[in-house]
Structure 1
Amino acid sequence: MTDFSFQNLTPDLILDAIESVGVYPESGLLPLNSYENRVYQFRADDNRRYVAKFYRPERWHSEQIQEEHDFTLALQQAEVPVVAPLRVDGQSLFEHQGYRFCLFPSVGGRQFEMDNLDHLEMLGRYIGRLHSVAMQEEFAHRPAIDTASYLHQPRTDILACDCLPDTLRLAFSTVLDQVINKAEEKFTPFQQIRLHGDCHAGNILWSQEQLMIVDLDDCRRGPAVQDLWMMLSGDRQNQVMQLDTLLSGYEEFAAFDTRELALIEPLRAMRMVHYMGWLAKRWHDPAFPRNFSWFATDKYWEQQILALKEQLAALDEAAISLYP
């Protein structure tokens, strides 16, 4: 299949695909909030609720997806609270008419509260446990978090996108290049391990008196701090308190190299640029102009120029530290 989108993924095809692995939906398909893939919740004839995830064509190859599944299943076996894909006859990745998909049990819950220090410490323990499993092996097929895929390729995609107004192109590209150069200079990971890769509050659920970690679709190799820094918010004093709380739980299960604290601002810059590049690259998918219409407005790009200038200043500041 050469189509990078989902224009041929019809409801009938979705139902046929699910039924091809012996699961028979009885309810309608409820689309869940996902743009990179297509994700649907349903109730089957066994009265259980499932989630079907259809992977975007040509984003990952099958070995990379299987490696995501194997990692998640290994975490589940080690009793790390993750939502893992279901296996049918020992298989977790399926294909139907060119679309690869998998099934998960449907797990409800409230979104993680970043200002709850008890939850933050619990999350630190869970990430520590996740990393203790992650360090036991390496990915053979999943890529690394690097400046080529998080800075340089996104830059190409952004500048090729018609959404960037001509009147702002010079100002934007100038500060973008400054941020890219500074982030690349400062991004020197000391160790790369298997990661969740996209560990933010939206991928953590509070369910049945415990936190559940979901969506390892972006798992990659990279520095351990990548799975921690997105939980920090507010001013530097608040971030130090949050970081100390996270690491007090984390270090019960895994050692943390405090030199990685210097990678937080480069990683933040890489995420900013990568996100804009992701939107630019996916703009041909009808779901993106419909749901991210602000991406094509002058106001958005003016805000990004200011945000990049602020991030450039942050890259020049001393790294956050747990000690005075």
Structure 2
Amino acid sequence: MTVKLDENAAYRELGPDQVLDAVESLGFPTDGRLLALNSYENRVYQVGLDPGSPLVAKFYRPGRWSDAAILEEHAFTLELAEREIPVVAPLVFDGRSLHRHGVFRFALYPRRGGRNPELDDPEVLEQLGRFMGRIHALGEVEPFTHRPTLDLESFGTASAGYLLDSGHLPAEVRPSYAEVTSALLEAVRAAYGRAAPVRLIRLHGDAHPGNILWTDHGPHIVDFDDARMGPAIQDLWMFLSGDRAAMSLGLCDLLEGYTQFHDFDPRELHLVEALRSLRMLHYAAWLARRWDDPAFPRAFPWFNTHRYWEEHVQSLREQIEAVAAPPLVWD
């Protein structure tokens, strides 16, 4: 996807006037209230209306997704919403969910509130499992055609290669990073071999607790921006925490709900630490790739320090053993 320089420059300078003008271009009278929400890959704002409840406006980063990929994500979430699965889907106007205002691409969403889920509560985990099972029951029906796959090459090999070539790594850390990532990627490859054949379905892709808004009536699942093809366990493992025993208990609660709506292949449990490792590699490379965006140095001042890279290498080294360990137990 080709991106013009003026699109990137305009995106970095996106301000309140452009946001309000874009929302008003769809016929919504704004009241001037604007709240930037916690998002860095895209720019997301809560916009006050007069009259009416606030909306959420999401402005897409140039070059990240093609229009076709964005619309494919929208279609997936809209279909989930039609099945009364509590996802927050984009609003549709005149048959369109993706809109343009000048060089900007944006979508509007209803505002949904909520709190973080209490992941130490077995009933919460079981309910999360049920909703993820319902999402995956639709996700397996057909593949994405415009969105990528979460795999070792794109999240692991490409991420490590980018950092080794980018100049972000301190010279004295570079050899140890190269050594540890080579060994870790080999361990991840072996884990995929133990899980084979790995079935790929449409996923949320970034199902961490921050993307779950919990209310007294249950969760709202938000932000499908990272939706892609991948193994089902990707949408489950980030709800597990603590030591091995605690994670195994949480897994059983999750799968108690999940398997009411979708089968689960226990071989995918070999991928929990492998996917954690790929996420760690990808996250560091993502920060490096976005470092020329002024929002990133402000939000992540600890990144790119010598201490960060030393701790990152040590964390990756510990993952080699974790990936090779026996999988979690599901009774």
When normalised by structure 2's length, the TM-score is: 0.94
What letter corresponds to residue 217 of structure 1 in structure 2? D
What letter corresponds to residue 214 of structure 1 in structure 2? V
Whether 2:220 is the aligned partner of 1:212: answer: yes
Tell me, in whole angstroms, the C-alpha distance in 2 between the residues paired with 1:86 and 1:207.
21
**246, 249, 253: which is aligned to 1:238?**
246
Alignment check: 8 A CA contact 2:205 2:226 kept: yes
Tell me, in whole angstroms, the C-alpha distance in 2 between the residues paired with 1:134 and 1:24.
37
Identify if the C-alpha distance between structure 1 residues 10 and 70 changes in structure 2 by more than 3 Å, giving closer, same or farther. same
Alignment check: 8 A CA contact 1:69 1:92 kept: yes
Tell me, in whole angstroms, the C-alpha distance in 1 between the residues paired with 2:27 and 2:197.
45
1:160 is displaced (CA, Å) by: 3.2
Match of 1:138 in 2: 143
1:189 is displaced (CA, Å) by: 5.2
SS at match of 1:110: coil
Aligned length: 323
Match of 2:25 in 1: 20
1:163 is displaced (CA, Å) by: 3.4
Tell me, in whole angstroms, the C-alpha distance in 1 between the residues paired with 2:119 and 2:60.
29
1:25 is displaced (CA, Å) by: 1.4
Alignment check: 8 A CA contact 1:189 1:223 kept: no
Tell me, in whole angstroms, the C-alpha distance in 2 between the residues paired with 1:228 and 1:174.
30
Percent of aligned pairs with the same amino acid: 47
Tell me, in whole angstroms, the C-alpha distance in 2 between the residues paired with 1:85 and 1:203.
15
In structure 2, list runs of 5 or more residues that go unmatched: none
After superposition, residues 269-284 of structure 1 pair within 5 angstroms as 269-284=277-292
1:116 is displaced (CA, Å) by: 1.6
Tell me, in whole angstroms, the C-alpha distance in 2 between the residues paired with 1:266 and 1:20.
45
What letter corresponds to residue 15 of structure 2 in structure 1? T
Alignment check: 8 A CA contact 1:191 1:223 kept: yes
RMSD over aligned Cα atoms: 1.4
SS at match of 1:43: strand
Between stretches 165-174 and 52-61, larger displacement belongs to: 165-174
When normalised by structure 1's length, the TM-score is: 0.96
In structure 1, list runs of 5 or more residues that go unmatched: none
Tell me, in whole angstroms, the C-alpha distance in 2 between the residues paired with 1:189 and 1:179.
21
Tell me, in whole angstroms, the C-alpha distance in 1 between the residues paired with 2:300 and 2:184.
24
Tell me, in whole angstroms, the C-alpha distance in 1 between the residues paired with 2:165 and 2:51.
49
Identify if the C-alpha distance between structure 1 residues 27 and 113 changes in structure 2 by more than 3 Å, giving closer, same or farther. farther
Alignment check: 8 A CA contact 1:43 1:50 kept: yes
Match of 1:202 in 2: 210
Per-residue Cα deviation, 1:253-284 (whole angstroms, up to 9, x for no partner): 11111111111111111111000110011111
Task: List structure 1 runs of 4+ shifted beyond 4 angstroms.
Answer: none
